[in-house]
Amino acid sequence: MKKKFEVDWINLPIISLRGETSMKLREHKSFVRFWTASTTSNFGTYITTIALQVLVVVNMGGSAVDVGWVSASRWFPYVLLGLIAGVFVDRFHLKTVLVVTDMGRGIIFAFICLLAVTGVLSIGWLMILLLLFGAMSLFNDAAHQSFVPQLVPRPLLTRAYARLEQSAAVAETSGPAIGGGLVLWIGAPFALLIDAVSYLFSGVLMATVKHQPSDKVKSGPLGQQIKEGLQWVYQHQYLRTLALNTHVWFLFHSMTMTILVSFFLIELGFDASLLGFALASAGVGAIAGTSLSSRAGERFGVGRAMAFSRILYAPAVILIALAPSAINSEPQNIAMIFAVVGQLLYGFSMGIEGPLEMGYRQFVTPSHLHGRMNASLRSINRSAVVIGAPLGGAIADGQGFLTALWIYR
């Protein structure tokens, strides 16, 4: 059976999901707590997605390049510490890592709010604080992905990741809309404070999760353990192809996301509320995508379902690029339709592929390599963001938003 999984991976979801019919995720109380904590922090994160960029563009008078550098600073720790984080996570208790990093991230956002309110926050200070936030997010991400197999049996992994993706999609749907309203009501700095509270709550709830710890990796040479994680990913027959494809996707995704907020605010003339609804529509698409993800994997196979979802990104960005500019005095509702439909399709694509990719990666990887596998992939993916975010901002400032979007498609 193991040989079957290694060779015929495209049919993995059919094999791995057949044993799930008699199992229910809600019966795993620890996973429910973990799910609740993750959903809470996700809501705060998507509020921050709009609040942080509005803070830079509107409150601080920043340009698209500033948005790019601020975004890159959040992901820069993945370049420096990504591989080390995988070794760390495999050596220590995952729940401790999750609790400490959630608490730390809450404190950082509360401090950003304080600096913004007192008028001393600059782009430089914001980048430094987001570097610290990114470092904590790096360790949290590696531990978060690796923690799920300690909460549910392997036959439930794909379904568990689908539920996590669905709750994230709900947060993505509601968060930007709520965030846009909060920014108008209480201002961007205090909207960030909402995210701080969500992280603190998540950390407290995460501390109550009971789990079955996996065997920890014995201490050894750091370089050797990093090498083992990289070899597993890039010498595996199918993980290698998946990883390389995903790295390229993250490069262009970061370029697109860097200019999208500025494009909506400046080129299309949206206010913070309309911006929130436009971004929220991606979450609606993601909910639909995650709901169909497992079925798509069973019906077409993991490889085909993921390939189809990634092809859909091109028409999604093209629709957004075709939205009529406010400069041309076109009715704003027409631009909103193009933006919403494009975001819906973009979110749908992400929703289809997310659970399938995560379930497959965790399933084929031995438990003692989960941390290093996840951190290796995420560190290089985020390294692509560090390159793509400022590059996207530079192209948008130099060539214009529309030219940039047509390049990214």
Which residues, other chains included, contact 6 with Cβ-Cβ below 8 Å and sequence gap of 6+? 237, 364
Closest CA to 93 of 57, 147, 43, 135: 147
Chain centroid to Cα 369, Å, comes to 21
Cα(217)–Cα(348) distance, rounded to whole angstroms? 38
Average of per-residue pLDDT across 33-50: 82
- Tell me the HSE value of 125 on the side-chain side, using a 13 A CA sphere: 13
Tokens of 354: 């997310």
Angle formed by the axes of helices 157-186 and 272-300, to 10°? 170
Tokens of 122: 């600059």
Nearest to 192 by CA among 72, 99, 111, 273: 111
The predicted-structure confidence for 150-203, as pLDDT tens digits, reads as follows: 787 777 776 777 788 778 777 766 766 677 777 778 888 888 888 899 899 999
| Residue 6 pLDDT class (50, 70, 90 cuts) | very low
- Which range in 9-18, 78-87, 232-241 is most confidently predicted, on average pLDDT? 232-241
Rounded mean pLDDT of 102-120? 91
Query: Cα angle at 78 between 142 and 199, to 5 degrees?
Result: 55
DSSP symbol at 216: P
Model pLDDT, residue 5: 33
Residue located via tokens 């047509």: 406
pLDDT of residue 405: 66
Spans of all domains in the chain: 26-210+220-408
Longest CA pairwise span in the chain (Å) = 65
What does the alpha-carbon distance between residue 226 and residue 52 come to, in Å, rounded to a whole number?
34
Locate 57 and state its tokens: 């563009």
371 near 193, Cβ under 8 Å? Answer: no
User: Could you say which of 1.20.1250.20, 2.60.120.10, 3.40.50.1820, 3.20.20.70 is the CATH number of the domain covering 26-210+220-408?
Assistant: 1.20.1250.20
- In the structure, what pLDDT confidence band is assigned to residue 23 with cuts at 50, 70 and 90? low
Q: Hey, what amino acid is at 266?
A: I
Q: With both helix axes pointing from N to C terminus, report the angle between 239-262 and 401-408 in degrees, rounded to the nearest 10.
A: 170
Residue 149 has pLDDT above 60, yes or no: yes
Helices (H) and strands (E) in the chain, counts: 16, 0
Distance CA 238, CA 215 (A): 26
Q: What is the reported pLDDT for 13? A: 40
Q: Which positions ≥6 away from 338 have C-beta within 8 Å? A: 319, 320, 322, 323, 324
Q: Which of 63, 62, 46, 57 is nearest to 279 (CA)?
A: 46
Q: Which helix (H) or strand (E) holds 121?
A: none
pTM: 0.65
Mean pLDDT, the chain, rounded, equals 77
Give the CA radius of gyration of the chain: 21
Q: How many CB atoms lie within 10 A of CB 10?
A: 17
Nearest to 39 by CA among 158, 130, 175, 152: 175
**Residues in CB range of 280: below 8 A, 6 or more apart:** 172, 173, 174, 175, 176, 177
What's the token pair of residue 16? 């791995």
Tokens 């975004």 -> residue: 71
pLDDT band at 119 (very low <50, low <70, confident <90, very high): confident
Lowest mean pLDDT, pick from 70-74, 83-87, 204-208, 286-290:
83-87
The answer to whether 241 and 98 are in contact (CB under 8 A) is: no
| Cα distances (angstroms) measured from residue 273 to each of 127, 218, 256, 264, 329 | 26, 51, 21, 11, 20
Q: Give the per-residue pLDDT at 170.
A: 74
| CB burial of residue 327 (10 Å; 0-12, 13-18, 19+) | exposed
Distance CA 308, CA 300 (A): 10
